[in-house]
Amino acid sequence: MKQQSDEPENMSLGQKAQIITNIMIYPALSVMVFLRRDIGYRMVNPKWLTGVTLVEIVISLIIHPRNGSPNALFLFAIASFAFGMVQRFKRWREVNNGVKQHSFYIGTSCFDSPKLPAFLRRNRRIARTADPILCVTVAMYSWQFFPALGFWLFFSGMCLAGFEGDVHRRDRNQTLDMVDSIITSEIQSDTIEEFEEAPNATPQEPAAGIPAGLGDDIHDHLKRRQPKQPTPQKGV
């Protein structure tokens, strides 16, 4: 049997990169619940949170040294799951109260403030830069004391940067596609108006229909060829 074209060895480099980008959301979610105050309802999916928490616990048991120090990554995993569930509960309550928010919204950075210049707040620059930098900085500081936690924070910070960059590119391309569609529709509308308002436009006569019967000449010819019926005589 011929192998399917969507197997890993048959995927293009772009497809493999897209799969990696899609996976970045899960490690990034473990730090987003601390750094974002209004994550969408469906972004804090309990299945996603549970999966990430289990991965963190496994990593903490593998990397954590057996020297009696507290397992910081294990505690971080439990706290991350709890914060995520609290945010999900808040979003559901807001939905019931009529608050309009996209259910997959990736959240507003805790460093974002109306007092900041408009340049920094535009295009999610704070969320795309400040949050990952904070994760990497804390990871480098805690690495010598809590290696497992330092590793995870560094990994999650890099995934958050990649995920934010991918979302930014998709939003930008969507906006450009929308603008291109508007321009194309305007050009088509102008072309139609140009032909409709042409002064020397000759109206076309409607096309003749398909004949659905015999012509008069054919009908008379067939009538002459028919044999005459004998006239019945009276009294017979």
User: In this prediction, what percent of the chain has a pLDDT beyond 90?
Assistant: 42
Average pLDDT over residues 43-47: 93
pLDDT bracket for residue 221 (50, 70, 90):
low
% residues pLDDT > 70 (the chain): 76
Burial of 26 (0-12, 13-18, 19+ CB in 10 A): middle
What span, in angstroms and rounded, lies between the C-alpha atoms of 154 and 161?
Answer: 11
Domain locations in the chain as residue ranges = 10-183
User: What pLDDT is recorded for position 227?
Assistant: 56
Confidence check: pLDDT of 2 > 50: no
Give the DSSP letter of residue 51.
H
Question: How much is the CA Rg of the chain, to the nearest whole Å?
Answer: 36
**What are phi and psi for residue 232, nearest 5 degrees?**
-65, 135
pLDDT single digits (tens) 64-103: 666 556 689 999 999 999 999 999 999 999 999 988 888 8
Q: Higher confidence at residue 10 or residue 162?
A: 162
Contact status, residue 201 vs residue 195, Cβ threshold 8 Å? yes
pLDDT band for position 218 (cuts 50, 70, 90): low
CB contact at 8 A, 37 and 107: yes
Q: Residue 216's pLDDT is what?
A: 61
Counting Cβ atoms within 10 Å, is residue 203 exposed (0-12), middle (13-18) or buried (19+)?
exposed
Instruction: Give me 171's structure tokens.
Output: 């939003």
